[in-house]
Amino acid sequence: MTTTPEATAAHRGEPDTAAEILARARALAPVLRERADEIERNRKLPADVVELLRGTGVFRMGSAREWGGPELTSMDQTRVVEALAYGDASAAWCGAIGSLTGPIAEFLDADVVKEVFPRQDMITAGVLVPAGHAERVPGGFLLTGRWSFGSGVDHSDWVTSGAFVFQDGEPYASPDGSNPHESRQFLVPREQVELIDNWHTTGLCGTGSCDYTITDVFVPENRTYTFYEPRGRLSPLSTPDAFMRMLCGVALGVTRAALDHAREIATTRIDRMTGTAWSDSFRVQVALAECEAAFHATRSGVYGGMTRLWEVLEAGGEPTPEERAASPLSWLHAYRSARSIVNRLYDLLQTWSINKSSPMDRWLRDTTTMCQNLPAQDVVLESVGAYLLGGTPKFRISLGITT
């Protein structure tokens, strides 16, 4: 009798549907909210919180069915991240980053996937920017470098890192002439990575996004990959942008939490100077309604663009420039809109926001920090604008294009 990966997953009792994983994420959110201060003080996720996240299925949610994963759509993955962020942004951020295992498997040969990912709930983290030096040697590469902002690396099983390729100390050009200095991603076991304890930051404090170094570590050729060469079954999850889509769910989840918190306060507060209930205040009513409007428009943009892109890719079609552009633009808008809405709610609640005991303080810092992440930066606007005008986008992965 042959045991399939799917049967093995079911035997272990792992959540195997979008509904199950989302339900577990929602159930965990109150626990994460209660532990948010601890997570922030710790500057990385406590080990038991990592296991609580693993139990929701978030780390395996993007893994393909053929590997025993649930293969959630990007929309369902985003909903899971939203639910976790409603409890704590740092935990949700690490949950989303740790789910890199699924997308990465699409860009590795099948025998390598079986070797490095015997379970699909293993955690992969790292930095994709090619900050390292990879020297070609027989059978593979010697990898050396220092990478910044390695969210979740401390509790990961594998670390993926970008590096430029060299041969005999000289920049290595792609044999097909497509790239004068080739860069790749390199998969390294966590134990071969040295962490630098420098994650002291404004927000997302619990993500453990410290720098890390790798020094002369041999990486076999088959543990390297690029996001432009899928080697598994072609699907909407085997495109270069697949691993980025759901991360904006952190911004959406935090914004929803802040809105609900502000509404709860508004139903119980009385203006001390006028004796007017906040719920009857024009100022409060207008501010909350405008923030709700901004949130719903932002969220609809994220899911609308993502759903249309998924439908076209799933049907094997080629998205129009507008369909490709809508997705990364909606991510960027989600981050920036979250910061704007939370900032307005912070001002609305006035001195009830400023104490460290107020979640508004943390949400303000978290949304400010997540806006410094690459998908929230002007390089996305620059790249999308160039693409729509027929030029060459600088950040082409965000558009899911390979040439």
Residue 341's CATH number: 1.20.140.10
Rg (CA), the chain: 22
Are residue 189 and residue 296 in the same domain, yes or no? no
In contact, 134 and 184? CB cutoff 8 Å = yes
Query: What total number of domains does the chain contain?
Result: 3
Are residue 386 and residue 260 in the same domain, yes or no? yes
Among 54, 82, 116, identify where a domain stops: 116
Q: Is residue 370 part of a domain?
A: yes
Share of the chain above pLDDT 70, in %: 96
Q: Is residue 235 part of a domain?
A: no
Q: Is residue 193 part of a domain?
A: yes
Are residue 97 and residue 137 in the same domain, yes or no? no
Three-state secondary-structure class, residue 125:
strand
Of residues 292, 259, 263, the one with CA closest to residue 278: 263
CATH number for the domain spanning 53: value is 1.10.540.10
CATH number for the domain spanning 172: value is 2.40.110.10
Supply the DSSP symbol for 206.
Answer: G
Contacts with 13 (C-beta within 8 Å, 6 or more apart), sequence order: none
Whether the per-residue pLDDT at 124 is higher than 90: the answer is yes
Of residues 187, 179, 175, the one with CA closest to residue 224: 187
Q: Is residue 338 part of a domain?
A: yes
How high is the pLDDT of residue 12?
56
For 400, the token pair is 């899911």
d(CA 300, CA 306): 10
pLDDT bucket at 276, cuts 50 / 70 / 90: confident
d(CA 291, CA 288): 5
pLDDT bucket at 228, cuts 50 / 70 / 90: confident
Of residues 371, 368, 372, 361, the one with CA closest to residue 36: 361
Are residue 247 and residue 391 in the same domain, yes or no? yes
**N-terminal to C-terminal alpha carbon distance within the chain:** 45
Are residue 47 and residue 144 in the same domain, yes or no? no
Q: Is residue 231 part of a domain?
A: no
Are residue 144 and residue 250 in the same domain, yes or no? no
Are residue 150 and residue 53 in the same domain, yes or no? no
Q: What is the mean pLDDT of the chain?
A: 93
d(CA 115, CA 257): 40
**Which domain covers residue 376, as residue numbers?**
242-399
The model's pTM is 0.94
Whether the per-residue pLDDT at 87 is higher than 80: the answer is yes
Are residue 56 and residue 181 in the same domain, yes or no? no
In contact, 53 and 28? CB cutoff 8 Å = yes
Three-state secondary-structure class, residue 185:
strand
Give the lowest-confidence range in 103-107, 175-179, 296-300: 175-179
Q: Is residue 237 part of a domain?
A: no
Q: Beta strands 158-167 and 124-137: pairing type?
A: parallel
* Structure-model confidence comparison of residues 177 and 350, the more confident one: 350
Residues belonging to the chain = 403
Q: Is residue 219 part of a domain?
A: yes
Give the lowest-confidence range in 1-15, 242-256, 259-273: 1-15
- For residue 33, the surrounding DSSP H or E stretch is helix 18-34
The sign one gets for the Cα dihedral 110, 114, 119, 125 is: negative
Q: Which amino acid is at 12?
A: R
Q: Which amino acid is at 111?
A: D
In contact, 97 and 58? CB cutoff 8 Å = no
Beta bridge partners of 99: 124
Q: Is residue 233 part of a domain?
A: no
For 79, the token pair is 């909903």
Phi and psi, residue 127, nearest 5°: -125, 125
Are residue 212 and residue 327 in the same domain, yes or no? no
Give the E-state strand segments of 279-393 in sequence order. Answer: none
Are residue 262 and residue 349 in the same domain, yes or no? yes
Among 62, 95, 116, identify where a domain stops: 116
Supply the DSSP symbol for 369.
Answer: H
Are residue 220 and residue 250 in the same domain, yes or no? no
Among 225, 256, 277, identify where a domain stops: 225
In contact, 370 and 89? CB cutoff 8 Å = yes
Are residue 93 and residue 216 in the same domain, yes or no? no
Q: Beta strands 158-167 and 170-171: pairing type?
A: antiparallel
Beta bridge partners of 169: none
The whole-number average pLDDT for the span 369-387 is 96
